[in-house]
Amino acid sequence: MRLLAAGAAVAAGARQATARETHIERLIYQARVYPQISQRIDFISAALRGTRYLGYTLIGGPRRPEKFVVRDDGFDCVTYCETVLAAADARSLGDFETVLKKIRYHNGVVEWRERNHYFFEWCERNVENGICRWIAMDGAVEIKKTVDSQKGLSKRRFAMRVIPRAVFLANKPMLERGDIVGFVSHQPDLDYFHTGFVAFARNGTLLLRHASGSHHRVVDERMERFLARYSVRYVTLLRPQEPQPAV
């Protein structure tokens, strides 16, 4: 469930990716009927439920050339969120690939050192580029982390505004389908250990829709159950934003 080295493995443009790209393209087209990005995320993320969990498959490293890769037949928690978010933002397969680069890499530059290895940087950069915005809640607190779990990178020091679990659960009416929730790690050298989308059951039960290592696939599960199982103390929340028209 670590957020380092997320999982998409077929190089963009590779011959064997054609059928899978068609699946993504179909979901992009079908989602167009929904006017709000939260609805498109909910539709696309639901369509990918049951997809297998697959981690550590991005291509690149400190001494290995980075390759931009696209895959929809296996995800870890980060690449699931990236793929769904890019598809919900896009109007075509070409748009999808452009947006995915923008989400995964700082300024869309496909290089290993520009990849958003730590989820806090992923969040910050996707707020800066207008893909998402932070969701604030009364009762949030600031914590500090010094992370050093990614080999090849220098230490990072983050001041993080986080939401205590009880505050998060007490503010369910503030949440929307498709909000991105990050779960803060207990490890001193890691910022987050997992991420997924907010979803709701038909009866209104708050769910986490995510690529789950323990379930080996993309699933919906009760948010409270997940929080309790992993003794989550803090979360952060992002809300995806509608794409801005090209100028």
CATH label of the domain that carries residue 118: 1.10.3670.10
- Residue 81's pLDDT band, with cuts at 50, 70 and 90, is very high
* Boundary residue ending a domain (102, 128, 154): 128
| High-pLDDT (> 90) share of the chain, % | 85
Is 31 found in the same domain as 108?
yes
Which single residue is written with the structure tokens 């443009």?
13
Is 124 found in the same domain as 23?
yes
CA distance 28 to 169: 32
Is 104 found in the same domain as 30?
yes
Q: Tell me the residue range of the domain where 193 lies.
A: 132-240
The predicted structure's pLDDT at residue 119:
97
Residue 115 lies in a domain: yes
pLDDT of 135 over the 80 cut = yes
- Residue 131's pLDDT band, with cuts at 50, 70 and 90, is very high
pLDDT in tens, 136-193: 999 999 999 999 988 899 999 999 999 999 999 999 999 999 999 999 999 989 999 9
Is 140 found in the same domain as 206?
yes
* Boundary residue ending a domain (128, 159, 177): 128
Is 229 found in the same domain as 159?
yes
CA nearest to 45, candidates 218, 212, 238, 194: 218
Residue 245 lies in a domain: no
Residue 234 lies in a domain: yes
Residue 246 lies in a domain: no
CA nearest to 232, candidates 137, 139, 172, 167: 167
Residue 71 lies in a domain: yes
Is 120 found in the same domain as 140?
no
Is 84 found in the same domain as 110?
yes
Is 121 found in the same domain as 85?
yes
The predicted structure's pLDDT at residue 120:
96
Is 46 found in the same domain as 31?
yes
The predicted structure's pLDDT at residue 57:
78
Count of domains observed in the chain: 2
| High-pLDDT (> 70) share of the chain, % | 90
Residue 24 lies in a domain: yes
* Boundary residue ending a domain (128, 159, 181): 128
Residue 247 lies in a domain: no
Is 58 found in the same domain as 72?
yes
Is 172 found in the same domain as 156?
yes
